[in-house]
Amino acid sequence: MRKPRKTNTDRAHEESTDYEVGYGRPPVHSRFKAGQSGNPKGRPKGRKKMGALLQDALNERISIREGDAVRKVSRAEATVLALISKAMKGDAKAFSTLLAFAQQSGEFEKEPPRIDYIRRIFVKPSLRLGTPPEVWEG
């Protein structure tokens, strides 16, 4: 039959009688417990950068009401919608801010679509108004 295992308290009691405390030999009661880390919370993570904080805040989804309908949009989209609304009501500062955003996004540098070819389309006039096509196609 096996002997029962000794716990940390049993060992501490046994070792306290002949254990010399000194450099590299801490008191038994202040040692780390078996299976426990010396730094349970771990190293704190670094702070987020300002750009990441701003990106997280702008990507957060909020509810807005348009008429009777409620829908969820990102804060960035809600900000642009509010800016457009103010500009349409005649707010000069909102209009200039909207133009600045459009210019920064490159909206004014886009080239107009190129016309590669011109196609002629002939429309056959109806002989009489109100008559179905099968009557006069014959």
When comparing pLDDT for 52 and 114, which is higher? 52
| Whether pTM exceeds 0.75 | no
When comparing pLDDT for 83 and 119, which is higher? 83
Q: What are the percentages of helix, strand and coil residues in the chain, rounded to 5?
A: 40, 10, 50
At 135 the pLDDT is 43
At 136 the pLDDT is 42
Query: Is residue 74 predicted with pLDDT exceeding 90?
Result: yes
**Cα distance between residue 50 and residue 38, in whole Å:** 33
